[in-house]
Every structure is written in structure tokens, then in C-alpha cells.
Structure 1
Amino acid sequence: MQYVSTRGQSDPLSFTKAVATGLAPDGGLYVPMDLPDLRPFLKDWEGLGYADLCEEFFKLFATDLDPVVLKQCVRDAYLDFSHPDTAPLKTLEKGLHVLELFHGPTLAFKDFALQLLGNLYEAQIQRTGNPINVLGATSGDTGAAAIHGLLGKEGVNIFILYPRGGVSALQERQMTCTRADNVYAIGIDGTFDDAQNSIKEVFGDLEFRHSAHLSAVNSINLARVLAQCVYYIYAFFRLPEEERENLTFVVPTGNFGNVLAGWWTQKMGLPVKGFHIATNQNDILYRLFTTGKYEVHSVHPSSAPSMDIQIASNFERFLYFHEGQDPARVREIMSQFRDSGQYTFADFNRDTFSASRATDADIQAHIRDIHEQYGYVLDPHTACGFQNLPESGTRVVLGTADPAKFPETIELSIGEHPKSPRLEELKAIEPCSYVLEPDPESVKKFIHEHITS
């Protein structure tokens, strides 16, 4: 299978080359040239465990990767997940479930993709002999998951930018308390969008990108989205057959990658009715899917910090398919959005999608209500999914993080202070972090100094 840029001005690449490249040279994002039809495989896949399902799914996409290497990458990715089901489906009542995606090493859904991506990078180094320097930005969970996916891997350095004061204290400790020599957690005075914009400019300097052996770990990397597709298929198979019709996945999202993965599985033939996009008060996606207007506002810090985003990186992949896989239209729309900070779609199709926005007060109310009604504790991001839930059919809310990562909000909501042994261990470790201005020249200088020292 070949992968093309959403902007159509870069050569098609194989899976391994697209993963290694990250951001396309023309500034676009890699997507499959054509999405495969999953329907011939679904019956055979239904009884598979998580790792086996992931391996079978990736065989359709990683066609240039040695099957033996793929199997090992996938198997190793999920060894450190604490639940035997890897992604257990928790039933609150008939027709309402939470898909728990927080049993990985950093207690967040990003582990599903980033444990695998780390193994793919390691296999690439072994195959080519070339080192890799991984660069990414995070609004909270991506950084920790990316770092832990690359800990101890030879030939890899990882540089993660995050907004100082814009992630939870425990999220920051997960990035800064690794004691690993190949990890550089870099705080910036700015927002996630500032960090992401700087990184895109760094990747836009093709000479520097090649000389520094840069690769991307953010959801701009193709493998991230593909790995997240798997848990939608897995969840579908764990539902009783009578609940598989009229199914809506409720997806807390800020960067659009999580819901894009689900939408791709629908386009590939998984029989899903729709997707409910749950945002916090930074609601660019809510506004888009209710008005057709994509417009940047200021970022307002919230109690669901991983969604404190205004520019959704993966929206461009959605746009590519929404516009009939027409890269010229994508370039036109993205250019207008870059110049004006907004774009209005005259014929935006919202049939598959609904959306909601939750304030901090809403988040606390949902944590309290769900705890009182079901004895179940939500993290603040998952709580956004309970705002204006679809009233009919089967609802599967994606549980994106362990509530122990956000103890202050949980305590404010229900008077309990959740803890996790993995997180408690971090409190005894001295953090190691760096501080940079969020501009591409500062980032390039920092990377150059640390990979040559």
C-alpha cells in the first residue's frame, strides 16, 4: 500500500517510509492512497485478542514491513498493559458503556499508538542503521506516552515540547521524571498550539530535518491514527450483538486524531452509525460540527488540559476525504485558514457527526453524577463525553485517562483523591526539564546542541 500527502505535492511513500518521515515535505499529512474494505475480514477477526487483532489490521497497511517484525512490534507494544483485556469495555447500563483506554504504562489512551510507534522506530533503526531524533508537542498525555514508548531504545533521542503550567502536575512528572538520558522534556511559555506551530516549522526546514534525522511522534504521524483504529473494532466485537446496531462512539477529542481513527473504520466498513465529538470549553470542533465554521479562538486553560487546543492537527486528514481526496481543495482551504484563522464550509456534511462542549462546571457535574448513579469515576476528559449524550441507540464513551492523573478535579467533584502506584512512585523522583522560547530557531538550536554533544 502507498501513502500520499493530503496536499498532493510530495511523492507517494511506503508504510515504513511514511512513518519515518512523519510530516510530508509539502507540509501535508500522509494518508492511505485508498482505504481498504474491512468487511471481508470482520467475521474472522471477531474472536481475536487485542494484539492479534492489531496485527491482522496492520497487515493491510504495513505491506512493506517484514511480517515477523510486525508481529514482534505489536506483541511487545501491549505487554505492559495492566488489564487482561487491554481495552476493557465497562458497562454502566444496557446501551451505555465506557471503553477503558487507560491501562497502559502512562494511564492514557495515547499508549495504544505510542507503544507501538516506539517499536516501529526501533525496528527501523535496526533495519537501516540510522539514528532517529523524535520531535513532538503535547497538551498532556501524548508527551508522556511517547517518552515511555521510546525509553531505553538505542539510537533514539526524544524531544517533547509542552506548555508550562498547561498540563497537570502528574502529567508533567511523567515526562520529567524518567531518569533517561535520551529524553528531553521542554517547557515553553505558551500554548500547545504555539508548540505545535513551532514543530511544523522545524519540519518545514527540510535541510535541518534530514541532517538531524527528525521524525514526528505527534498524531501527524500516520501510524498513530492507524493504531487507534484498532480499539474501535475491538470495542465493536465486545458489544452484545443486539447492541451493535445504531451504535455511536462518543469521543473526547481536541486534536481530532482520536475521532478520525474511528471515522476511518466506518469508511472501511465497520457498521457504526456515528460519532459524537466531545470538547471542553476550547470548542473549535464543536463549533465546526454545529455551524460549519472552522475558526480559531484563544485557548482557555481548563480542567481537561489535554484538550486545550484550538488548531486540530488531524482535521486536515478529515478534510482530504471530505473533499473527495482532492489535494488542490485541501491546499486552498488550508491556505485560507492559515491566512485568516477561519474557513466556512457552505456544504459541510454533518450526518455522521454530532458534537458537544463542556465547561469546567459541566465536567465536575458529570464526574459527580456518574459516580452517584453508577459508582464509577471518570477523568475530566472522559467526563466531557457525558455532555449531551445521544439519547437513543448504543453509546460507547471512550475513557481516555485514569482519573488518578487528575486528583484535584476528582476531589473537587466527589471528595475522593484517586491514586495510582505508577504515579505515586514519580513523586520521589527529582524532575529534569528544560525551558525554551516557542520559536523554531530555538528548537532547532536546542536539538542540534544535544544530538552533537
Structure 2
Amino acid sequence: MRFISTRGLAQPLSFSDAVATGLAPDGGLFLPEKLPDLSAQWPPMAGLGYAQLCHEFMRHFATDIPEETLRRLVGKAYQGFDHAETAPLVALDARTYVLELFHGPTLAFKDFAMQLLGNLYEHQCAQRGESINVLGATSGDTGAAAIHALLGKPGTAIFILYPDGRVSPLQERQMTCTGADNVFALAIDGSFDDAQAALKTIFGDTAFRLKNRLSAVNSINLARVLAQCVYYLYAWLRLPQEARANAEFVVPTGNFGNVLAGWLLQRMGVPIPAFKVATNQNDILYRLFTTGEYRVADVQPSLAPSMDIQVASNFERFLYYQLGGDAARVRAVMATCAKDGVYRFDKFEHSTFSASRCSDAEIPGIIAHVRRRYGYLVDPHTACAFKDLSPEKVSVVLATASPAKFPETIREAIGAEPKHPRLEALRKRPIHKHKLPASVEAITRFVEAHAV
């Protein structure tokens, strides 16, 4: 299988080359040239364990990796998860389920893709005899998951940009307390969107990218999105038969990558009826799906910091399909968004999607309500998804992080702090971070000085 750019001006690449490249040279995002049809294949997958299911799914895309090698890389990716089911589906009542995506090494859903991506990078380094320098930007969980996927892996270095003072203290410690020589946590002045904008500019500099063997670890990397498709399929196959036809996956999201993964699975023939985009007070996606207008606003720091985003990168992949694969129109829309910060759709068809918005003032109350009603504790991001659940549908809420990562907010909501031994151990370790301005020049100078 080959992978093409949403903007249509880059050469198609193999899976491994698309993974290594990250952002397409024309500034677009990679997508499969053609999505596989899984409509006749998903029913027999119902009895597979998580790693087996992931292998069966990923083999449709990673066609340049030998079958047994891919099986090994996938199997290794999920060995460090602390639940036998990897992504357990928990029934709160007959109409409400929670898909727990926080049993990986960093207690957040990003581990599902990052652990696999780290193994793919390690395999590529060994196969090609080349080092790789991974560059990413994070609003919280992505950076920690990426770092822990590459800790100590030979031939790799990882540079993670994050907004200084705008991630939770424990999220920061997961990035800055590893003690690994190949990890560089870069605390920048500004917001996540500032970090992401710098990252896109850096990857657009082809000479710099090639010279320093850069690869992207954000959800602009296609492997991230594909790996996340798997937990939707895993959950779908574990729903009661009668619930599947009326199920709505409710997804906390800021960068649109998490919910895009489920929607792509639907396009591959898995009949998931509906998705709800759950945003915090940084609600660009809520506004898009309720008004048809994509308008960038200022980021408001919130209690759900991983969703503090106003430029949703994966929107471009969705746009590509919305525009019928017309890469020229994608280029025009993205140019308008970059220039004016806004694009108004004349006709925005999205019957599969609904959206909700949750303010900071509402989050503690929702956490307390879920605890009282179901005896279940959720983190601030997952709390956003519990706002206005549909009474007519079966809701499958994606629990994106452990509540133990946000003790201050949980204490405000229920009067007690959840703890996790992995996080408690971090409190005793020294923080190592590098403060930088959010400028392309400062970041590239640092990367060049420390690249392997």
C-alpha cells in the first residue's frame, strides 16, 4: 500500500517511509491511497485479543514490513499495559460504557499509538543502519507517551516541545524526570498552538529535516491515527450485539486525531453509527460542527490541558475526504485558514458527528456527578465527554487518561486525591527541562546541537 499527501504535491510513499517522514514535504498529511474494505473481515475478529486484533488491522497498511516482524513489533507494544484486556470496556449501566484507554506506561490513550510507533522507529533504525531524531509538540499526554516509547532506544533522540506552565505538574514530570540521555523536554513560552506552528515550519524545511533525519511524533504521523483505529474496533466487537446499531462513541478531543481514527474505521466498513466530539472551553471543533465555521481563537488554559488547542491538525485529513479527495481544494482551504484564521463552509455535511462543549466551571461538578451516579472516577478530559450524553443512544465514552494525573482537580471535585504508584515515584525525581522561546530559530538550533 502507498500513502499520499492531502495536498497532492508529494510523491506517494511506502508505510515505513511515510512513518519516518511524518509530515509530507508539501505540508500535507499522509493518508492511505485507498482505504481497505473491512466490511466482511471484522465479524471474525471478535474473539481476538488486543495485540492480535492490532496486527490483523495494521497488516493492511504496513505491507512493506514482513508479517512475522509486524506481529512481533505489535506484540511488544502492548506488553507494558497493566490490564489483561489492554483496553477494557466497562459497563456503567445498560446504556453507558467507558472504554478505558489509560492502562499503558504513561496512563493515557496516547500510549496505544506511541508504544507501537516507538517499536517501528527502532526497527527502521536497525534495518537501515541510520539514526532518527523525533520531534513533537504536546499539550500534555502526547509528549510523555512519545518519550516513554523511545526511552533509551539505540539510534534515537526525542525532542518534545510543550507550553511551559500549561500542562499539569504530573504530565510535566512524566516528560522531564526520565533521566534518559536521549530525551530532551523543551519548555517553550506560549501555547501548544505556538509549538505546533513552529514544528510544522521546521518540518517544511526539507533540507533541515533531511540533514537531521527528523521524524514527527504528533498525530500528524499517520501511524498514530491508524493505531488508534484499533481500540474503536476492539470496543465495537465487545459491545452487546443489540447495542452496536445504536452506539455513539463520545470522544474528548482537541486535535481531532482521536475521533478521526474512529471515523476512518467507519469508512473502512465497520458500521459505527455515530461519534460525538467532546471539547473543553477551547471549542473550535464544537463551533465547526455546530456552525460550519472553522475559526481560530486564543487558547484559554483549562482544567483539561491536553485539549487546550485551537488549531486542530487532523482536521486536514477530514477535510480531504469531505472535499472528495480534491487536493487542490484542500490546499486552498488550508491557505485561507492560515491567512485569515477562519474558513466558512457553504455546506458542511457531517451526519455522523455531533458535538458538545464543557467549560472549566462545569468540569468538577461533572466529575462529582459521575462518581455519585456510577461509582466511577473520571479525569477532567473524560468528564467533558459526560456532558449531555444522549438518552436515546448507547454511549461509549473514551476515558483518555487516569484521574491520578490530575490530583488537584479531582480533589476539588470529590475532596480526595487519587494516586498511582508510577506517578508518586516521579515526585522524588529531579526535573530536567530546557526553556526556549517559541521560535523556529531557537528550536532548530537546539535540535541541531543535540541530534544523534
Which of the five TM-score ranges fits, normalised by the shorter chain? over 0.9
Partners of 1:86 and 1:8 in 2: CA distance = 37
Corresponding position of 2:138: 138
The residue that corresponds to 1:34 in the other structure is 34
TM (norm. structure 1) is 0.99
What aligned pairs does 1:75-154 form with structure 2 within 5 A after superposition? 75-154=75-154
Amino acid at match of 2:256: F
Please say if 1:431 is aligned against 2:431: yes
SS at match of 1:40: coil
Shift of 1:2: 0.8
Is residue 2:444 matched to residue 1:440? no
CA distance in 2, matches of 1:122, 1:66: 15
Q: Quote how far apart the aligned CAs of 1:362 are.
A: 1.4
Instruction: Please show how residues 401-412 of structure 1 align to structure 2 within 5 Å.
Output: 401-412=401-412
Q: Give the 5 Å matches for 1:222-301.
A: 222-301=222-301
Q: Which runs of 5+ in 1 are unaligned?
A: none
2:360 — aligned with what?
360
1:67 counterpart residue number:
67
Structure 1 residue 289, shift from structure 2 partner: 0.1
- Matched residue SS, 1:361: coil
Q: Which residue of 2 aligns with 1:371?
A: 371
Shift of the alpha carbon at 1:331?
0.3
Paired residue secondary structure (1:102): coil
Aligned to 1:6: 6
Q: Offset of 1:391 from its aligned partner?
A: 2.0
Deviations 1:189-223 (A, max 9, x none): 10000000001111111000000000000000000
Task: Identify the range of structure 1 (286-295 vs 430-439) with the bigger mean alpha-carbon deviation.
Answer: 430-439
SS at match of 1:278: strand
- What is the distance in 1 between the residues matched to 2:44 and 2:93? 29
Find the aligned partners of 1:209 and 1:297 in 2 and give their Cα distance. Answer: 30
Secondary structure of the residue aligned to 1:428 is: coil
Deviation at 1:411, TM superposition (A): 0.4
Q: Do the aligned partners of 1:304 and 1:381 also contact (CA within 8 Å) in 2?
A: yes
Query: Which deviations, in whole Å up to 9, do the C-alpha atoms of 1:3-24 show, x marking residues without a partner?
Result: 0000000000110110010000
Instruction: State the secondary structure of the residue aligned to 2:41.
Output: helix
Q: What are the Cα deviations for residues 29-82 of structure 1, in whole angstroms up to 9, with x where unaligned?
A: 000111111112112211000000000001101111111211111001000000
The unaligned stretches of length 5 or more in structure 2 are: none
Letter in 2 for 1:77: A
The Cα shift of 1:451 comes to 2.2
- Aligned 8 A contact 1:5 1:12 in 2: yes
3-state SS, counterpart of residue 139 of structure 2? coil
Alignment deviations for residues 375-428 of structure 1 (CA, whole Å, 9 cap, x no partner): 100100000001121221211000000000000000000111000000000011
Residue in structure 1 matched with residue 311 of structure 2 by the alignment: 311
Cα deviation for residue 284 of structure 1 reads 0.1
SS of structure 2 residue aligned to 1:227 = helix
Q: What is the rounded CA distance, in whole Å, between the counterparts of 1:72 and 1:123 in structure 2?
A: 11
Q: Quick one: distance in 2 between partners of 1:231 and 1:123?
A: 23
Q: How far, CA to CA, are the matches of 2:127 and 2:389 in structure 1?
A: 47
The percent of aligned pairs where both chains have the same amino acid is 61
Q: Give the match for residue 414 of structure 1.
A: 414
What SS does the aligned partner of 1:312 have? coil
Q: Which amino acid aligns with 2:42?
A: L
Q: Is the 8 A contact 1:137 1:218 kept in 2?
A: yes
Asked whether the equivalents of residues 136 and 216 of structure 1 are also in contact (C-alpha less than 8 Å), the reply is: yes
CA contact (8 A) 1:5 1:29 kept: yes
Cα deviations across residues 340-387 of structure 1 (Å, max 9, x unaligned)?
000001110121100010001211111010101111001000000011
Q: Which runs of 4+ in 1 moved over 2 A?
A: none
Q: How does 1:139-178 map to 2 (within 5 A)?
A: 139-178=139-178
Secondary structure of the residue aligned to 1:41 is coil
Give per-residue Cα distances to partners, 1:126-158, cap 9 Å, x unaligned. 110010000000000000000000011000000
SS state at 1:154 partner: coil
CA contact (8 A) 1:245 1:393 kept: no
Letter in 2 for 1:246: N
Partner of 2:99, secondary structure, is: strand
Q: Which amino acid aligns with 2:54?
A: C
Residue 343 of structure 1: aligned partner: 343
Whole-angstrom CA distance in 2 between matches of 1:279 and 1:154: 38
* Structure 2 letter corresponding to 1:203: F
Distance 1:322 1:261 in 2: 15
